Chain A
Amino acid sequence: MIAWTIYLTFAGAVVLLVFPDVVARWIALVTAIAGLVLGIVAFVRTPVADLAHFMTIVSVPWVPPLGMNYHLAVDGVSLTMLLVTGISAVSTVLFSWDVDHRQREFFFWLLLVVGGCYGVFLSADLFLLFAFYELVIVPKYFLIAIFGSTNKEYGAMKLTLYSFFGGMFVFAGILVAYATAGSLDLNQLVQFHFSPQLQSWAFPVLFLGFAVLAGIWPLHTWAPTSHVAAPTAGSMLLAGIVMKLGAYAGLRVAMNLFPEGFHVWSKWIAILAVIGIVYAAAVALRQHDLKFVIGYSSVSHMGFVLLGVATANALGVSGAVLQMFSHGVIAALLFAVAGRMLYRRTHTRELDALSEMNLSHALPFAAFAFIIASAASMGIPGFSGFAAEITILIGVWKTYPVAVWITGAGMVLVAAFTLRALMKSFFGEVRMQTGRVSTDADWNEQSITLAEKCGACLLMFATLAVGLYPKFLLDRIMPAVEAMRFLK
């Protein structure tokens, strides 16, 4: 049943092309909600014990002479990712409610991205996984290049070329695995023993390819640029789920296939991750554009995911998966506030300009949402960010105690830039006479719409729920991670 998330999303994308522009958003919304509902139902109804291993749900021969199967499977990790995809998809559609030109195209590309992500999270065949993975690249290009804002064509091309650059390495790694083991099925490949010498060079090729999309330092520079260039929906999708594709596939494919290679390289991944956390946080502290701040914060938070993954113990890796969920929700909320609620109305993202507008009075709901998102992003207890990061850090403590100290310093920086952004954007010193927006009449016309409120509430609910009761997710993630092969 969970496989229908893929079919429904692609069907929705095709169907809305046939109908006129005005109903496109409704079709997209219905499709996205259907995906989320399917995800929730599967999450609640599948017995927890079944989620401990990569359980096949569909397996049909596709190209028998080459050993390709249409093979979908699910476990706790992929189900968690499906859930965050569904949440991001629904809120993204809600925050794109007033796209005013070429709506069909917009929602077509948007649903293609979502469908491709569902596909990656469910694939149990390397070829299929790679096909979905590459499928996501081009729709993102069009979303940004057609509907984006600042420097959009540059940002779109940069993102696409970086993704494809990573894809090139992934392709090479997959070909090597296929040529050696003669199979493309993940469950079979996991049983195959690749020679340690092969693993030691094939692992970095494959993992690096995936990590480009996860924003690993120093290949992260696409992320801030394209987040800024993208329309709000594009940023939300990028930060919310697309960056997770890289991390998820690195975990599912690269580390599971080449565990010994992973152990050789894990400390280098950890070093890059720590650099990423601290460096991106430091850079974010100096940005003037609100979206750049959030873009760098994404890189910083994804650094936690990579750090958790690099620990190679169950706790750290589970924390990383939880962080993927948490960051998917939080980043989407941050971008929604900055890109949609604020930029739509003020037409600026400059922190200095925003600070003169007295926005906490003009847009109380936006301020509320942004406070929640910032708190979650800083890792305040009670929100999902805290649950995820504390789990990761406990895992890291077992393997790389030094990294915890450095990361701790990084977290202070995260708090610093988040507070700075929050203060400047919403609680700046009010100078009514200089502000561009001085009359209240303007604001009344543009108060936060219902669609925006629904989207924001969904995201806030998700981060709070997971923050208060992370066991709900962790119960499903932990057994699945413990079943993986790369744990030390």
Chain B
Amino acid sequence: MSYLELLRLASPEAVVVIGALVVLTIGLVSSRATVVAGVSPAKPPTGAAAGSRLRRTATSWCSLVAVLGVVIAIAAVLVLPRNANLFGGMLVITPLTSLFKIICLALAFFTVCLVRSEKSLRHPGEYLAIILLATVGLMLLVGSEELLMIFIGLELLGLSLYVMAAFDRTDMRSAEAGLKYFLFGSTSSAFTLFGISLIYGMSGSTGLAAISDKLAAAPVQPLLATGIIMTLIGFAFKIAAAPFHLWAPDAYQGAPIPSAAFIASGSKVASFVVLGKIVLVGFGPVHGNAGWHAMVAGWSPVLAVLAALSILIGNLVALAQTNVRRLLAYSAVAHAGYTLLGLVAGSRDGFSATLFYATIYAITLVGAFGVVAVVRSETGGDDLRNFSGLAGREPLLAGCMAVFMLSLAGIPPLAGFFGKFYLFSAALRAGGNYGLLWLVALALFGSFVSLYYYLVVLKAIFVDEPSLTTASSPDRSSSDLLQRITVAVLAAAILLLGLMPDTLAARILAAVS
């Protein structure tokens, strides 16, 4: 094992880190220049104008470098060998990890596209650098089968996301979002670390495969159960499953929009990948059974309870929301519940369905937040009334938002419909004698309820008369155009994945085996 080999296998991560450093440098240099230009006493107005222009060019350069870094990293993932395993699972390369590194990078790519038009961010260089660091966290999470490394990935991701959530210093809500996210996040990290240490104590190893071997020999003991539950708590927090979802509404509503989009998308996908690996590979022998007539202790009843709670709480509370971002947050809780169904099933099909659904969901939410960003910049808010009459003003955006909302509700021919069918059918098939029917029925009920609040959003967009006079911004700069293109591309992706789900589903299924 040489360092060169390590560098080769970790090249995607390395590329992203280098990208982050370059972006940081550009940002630093340009912000100095801005300060110098801005305070020049002779001609303040032109100085300020020059400063803002300079900052805009600096932003463009930063985004360009960030995008380049992400694209090169995707290319680097593509040339990786198919299978590799370093340091007992610390860095693992399989088709699954490669696929999901690409998906995480793509989500980061779209998030960066959203950043460009976010005008409230004062230091885009630093912001972009933190997004890239968070992306490295995602890649580490996805590409590891060792608990310590997973924990490091979680922390890298978490710390970056806390900063991203609190990044808008002009907005109190952003600070609130950051603080809440940080307090909940650090507490749940502590739980996870404690759980990991208990499991290490029981099994004498932190590699998932080794843990699985040890657990297969021993029956479920209280200590082990404690360890498993504590480990799961940390992930339940990350995926915003009830009752660990309390941070989500404030974070989704208060954080700068690209941060919220990234928290809702990349962070979730990677968490589901690693959660699936931990429970299916590491804790595989203590699967248990969540069927209603054959309940057996293990992690799957725990996840089943989390899923049921999330579906109920998320959907019912979302009914009462009037702010679109809060509504998306509660619906995120519900979707975390659906997505867990595949893991509860515990089969290969189930895992694959979970990953498919998490991916679709992530794409949808990035797009939805993109639309929210435009509406917010045009009307100054993101309540339902800000969306009223959007169809008249912006038919394209309205159409895209319809695609996102209906996909979340599970209406064909959009990807969410296939995703739900795949998930629920996997859960029902795996349960053995319809053991998971109770959970599937609950999920179906939840998705019935959810249609109402998604329709409320669409009603505001398509049916209601515009209630606010928009702060008309006739100057559609190139960044706005970029945002629209991003949103349209994501909506097209949702439609295409709904019409041809096989393109993604077959890949995931092949990678999972």
Chain A positions within 8 Å of B, measured between CB atoms, are 62-66, 105, 127, 130-132, 134-135, 137-138, 141-142, 145-146, 153, 157, 160-161, 164-165, 167-168, 171-172, 175-176, 178-179
- Taken together as a complex, chains A and B put the C-alpha atoms of A236 and B421 apart, in Å, by 31
Q: List 13 A-B contacts (CB under 8 A).
A: A65-B506, A131-B412, A134-B417, A135-B413, A145-B462, A160-B451, A160-B455, A161-B451, A168-B444, A168-B448, A171-B421, A171-B424, A175-B440
- Is residue B244 contacting chain A, with contact meaning CB distance below 8 A? no
Interface string of B365-393 (1 = CB under 8 A from A): 00000000000000000000000000100
Chain B residues within 8 Å of A64, by CB: 502, 506
Closest to B405 in A: A138
* Contact yes or no, A157 B505, CB < 8 A: no
Closest to B503 in A: A63
Q: How far is the CB of B383 from chain A (nearest CB, A)?
A: 19
Chain B residues within 8 Å of A145, by CB: 459, 462-463
- Is residue B38 contacting chain A, with contact meaning CB distance below 8 A? no
Interface string of B497-513 (1 = CB under 8 A from A): 00001100110010000
* Contact yes or no, A161 B452, CB < 8 A: yes
Among A132, A157, A168, A178, max chain B CB count under 10 A is at: A168
* Contact yes or no, A172 B444, CB < 8 A: yes
Interface string of B444-465 (1 = CB under 8 A from A): 1101100110010011001100
Additional A-B contacts beyond A138-B406, A172-B441, A176-B437 (11; CB < 8 A): A65-B506, A132-B412, A134-B417, A135-B412, A142-B463, A157-B455, A161-B451, A161-B452, A168-B445, A168-B448, A171-B421
> Known contacts being A62-B502, A176-B434, is A165 close to B448, with CB within 8 Å?
yes
Chain A residues within 8 Å of B412, by CB: 130-132, 134-135
Chain A residues within 8 Å of B509, by CB: 65
* Contact yes or no, A164 B428, CB < 8 A: no
Closest to B498 in A: A131
* Cβ contact of A142, chosen from B429, B452, B462, cutoff 8 A: B462
A-B contact count (CB 8 A): 79
* Contact yes or no, B462 A179, CB < 8 A: no
> Known contacts being A132-B412, A168-B448, is A175 close to B502, with CB within 8 Å?
no
* Cβ contact of B452, chosen from A135, A157, A176, cutoff 8 A: A157
Chain B residues within 8 Å of A127, by CB: 421
The 7 A-B residue pairs with the shortest CB-CB distance in the complex, in nearest-first order = A131-B412, A179-B428, A179-B429, A168-B448, A63-B502, A145-B463, A168-B444
Chain A residues within 8 Å of B462, by CB: 142, 145-146
Q: How far is the CB of A251 from chain B (nearest CB, A)?
A: 22
- Taken together as a complex, chains A and B put the C-alpha atoms of A138 and B458 apart, in Å, by 10
* Contact yes or no, A178 B411, CB < 8 A: no
* Cβ contact of A137, chosen from B411, B418, B429, B502, cutoff 8 A: B411
- Taken together as a complex, chains A and B put the C-alpha atoms of A171 and B437 apart, in Å, by 12
Among B412, B428, B463, max chain A CB count under 10 A is at: B412
Closest to A182 in B: B429
* Contact yes or no, B455 A141, CB < 8 A: yes
- Taken together as a complex, chains A and B put the C-alpha atoms of A142 and B452 apart, in Å, by 13
Chain A residues within 8 Å of B417, by CB: 131, 134
Q: How far is the CB of A232 from chain B (nearest CB, A)?
A: 19
- Taken together as a complex, chains A and B put the C-alpha atoms of A278 and B462 apart, in Å, by 39
- Is residue B330 contacting chain A, with contact meaning CB distance below 8 A? no
Q: Is the interface of A mostly helix, strand, loop or mixed?
A: helix
- Is residue B422 contacting chain A, with contact meaning CB distance below 8 A? yes
Q: How far is the CB of A322 from chain B (nearest CB, A)?
A: 30
Chain B residues within 8 Å of A167, by CB: 448
- Taken together as a complex, chains A and B put the C-alpha atoms of A157 and B502 apart, in Å, by 33
* B interface residues, tally (CB under 8 Å): 33
Chain B residues within 8 Å of A66, by CB: 422, 425, 505
* Contact yes or no, A179 B411, CB < 8 A: no
* Contact yes or no, B448 A164, CB < 8 A: yes
Chain A residues within 8 Å of B451, by CB: 160-161, 164
- Taken together as a complex, chains A and B put the C-alpha atoms of A65 and B440 apart, in Å, by 21
- Taken together as a complex, chains A and B put the C-alpha atoms of A160 and B409 apart, in Å, by 12
Chain B residues within 8 Å of A164, by CB: 448, 451
- Taken together as a complex, chains A and B put the C-alpha atoms of A141 and B409 apart, in Å, by 14
Chain A residues within 8 Å of B501, by CB: 63
* Contact yes or no, A63 B505, CB < 8 A: yes
- Taken together as a complex, chains A and B put the C-alpha atoms of A157 and B458 apart, in Å, by 12
Chain B residues within 8 Å of A160, by CB: 451, 455
Chain A residues within 8 Å of B502, by CB: 62-65
- Taken together as a complex, chains A and B put the C-alpha atoms of A476 and B429 apart, in Å, by 39
* Cβ contact of B463, chosen from A63, A153, A165, cutoff 8 A: A153
- Taken together as a complex, chains A and B put the C-alpha atoms of A464 and B444 apart, in Å, by 44
> Known contacts being A135-B413, A153-B463, is A171 close to B434, with CB within 8 Å?
no
Closest to A134 in B: B412
* Cβ contact of B459, chosen from A65, A105, A153, A172, cutoff 8 A: A153
Q: How far is the CB of A178 from chain B (nearest CB, A)?
A: 6
Q: How far is the CB of B289 from chain A (nearest CB, A)?
A: 16
Chain B residues within 8 Å of A135, by CB: 411-413
* Contact yes or no, A146 B463, CB < 8 A: yes
- Taken together as a complex, chains A and B put the C-alpha atoms of A375 and B463 apart, in Å, by 38
Closest to B448 in A: A168
* Cβ contact of B411, chosen from A134, A168, A172, cutoff 8 A: A134
- Taken together as a complex, chains A and B put the C-alpha atoms of A114 and B25 apart, in Å, by 58
Closest to B510 in A: A65
Chain B residues within 8 Å of A65, by CB: 502, 505-506, 509
- Taken together as a complex, chains A and B put the C-alpha atoms of A135 and B506 apart, in Å, by 24
- Taken together as a complex, chains A and B put the C-alpha atoms of A67 and B459 apart, in Å, by 36
- Taken together as a complex, chains A and B put the C-alpha atoms of A131 and B458 apart, in Å, by 21
- Taken together as a complex, chains A and B put the C-alpha atoms of A419 and B413 apart, in Å, by 44
Q: How far is the CB of B433 from chain A (nearest CB, A)?
A: 10
Chain A residues within 8 Å of B506, by CB: 63-65
- Taken together as a complex, chains A and B put the C-alpha atoms of A137 and B462 apart, in Å, by 16
* Contact yes or no, A175 B448, CB < 8 A: no
Chain A residues within 8 Å of B441, by CB: 172
Q: How far is the CB of B405 from chain A (nearest CB, A)?
A: 10
Chain A residues within 8 Å of B429, by CB: 178-179
Q: How far is the CB of B357 from chain A (nearest CB, A)?
A: 14
Chain A residues within 8 Å of B424, by CB: 171, 175
* Contact yes or no, A178 B444, CB < 8 A: no
* Contact yes or no, B411 A138, CB < 8 A: yes
Chain B residues within 8 Å of A153, by CB: 459, 463
- Taken together as a complex, chains A and B put the C-alpha atoms of A377 and B364 apart, in Å, by 48
Chain A residues within 8 Å of B448, by CB: 161, 164-165, 167-168
- Taken together as a complex, chains A and B put the C-alpha atoms of A137 and B451 apart, in Å, by 11
Chain A residues within 8 Å of B444, by CB: 168, 171-172
- Taken together as a complex, chains A and B put the C-alpha atoms of A7 and B271 apart, in Å, by 40
Chain A residues within 8 Å of B455, by CB: 141, 157, 160
Chain A residues within 8 Å of B425, by CB: 66, 175, 178-179
Q: How far is the CB of B254 from chain A (nearest CB, A)?
A: 31
- Taken together as a complex, chains A and B put the C-alpha atoms of A153 and B502 apart, in Å, by 37
Q: How far is the CB of B503 from chain A (nearest CB, A)?
A: 10
Q: How far is the CB of A73 from chain B (nearest CB, A)?
A: 19
- Taken together as a complex, chains A and B put the C-alpha atoms of A157 and B437 apart, in Å, by 28
- Taken together as a complex, chains A and B put the C-alpha atoms of A130 and B463 apart, in Å, by 27
Closest to A198 in B: B434
- Taken together as a complex, chains A and B put the C-alpha atoms of A439 and B196 apart, in Å, by 88
- Taken together as a complex, chains A and B put the C-alpha atoms of A138 and B429 apart, in Å, by 29
Closest to A144 in B: B463
Chain B residues within 8 Å of A131, by CB: 412-413, 417
Chain B residues within 8 Å of A168, by CB: 444-445, 447-448
- Taken together as a complex, chains A and B put the C-alpha atoms of A134 and B418 apart, in Å, by 12
- Taken together as a complex, chains A and B put the C-alpha atoms of A73 and B429 apart, in Å, by 27
- Taken together as a complex, chains A and B put the C-alpha atoms of A65 and B417 apart, in Å, by 17
- Taken together as a complex, chains A and B put the C-alpha atoms of A132 and B412 apart, in Å, by 7
Chain B residues within 8 Å of A146, by CB: 462-463
- Taken together as a complex, chains A and B put the C-alpha atoms of A42 and B412 apart, in Å, by 28
Q: How far is the CB of A315 from chain B (nearest CB, A)?
A: 36
B302-318 interface (Cβ within 8 A of A)? none
- Taken together as a complex, chains A and B put the C-alpha atoms of A267 and B412 apart, in Å, by 34
Q: How far is the CB of A159 from chain B (nearest CB, A)?
A: 11
* Contact yes or no, B428 A176, CB < 8 A: yes
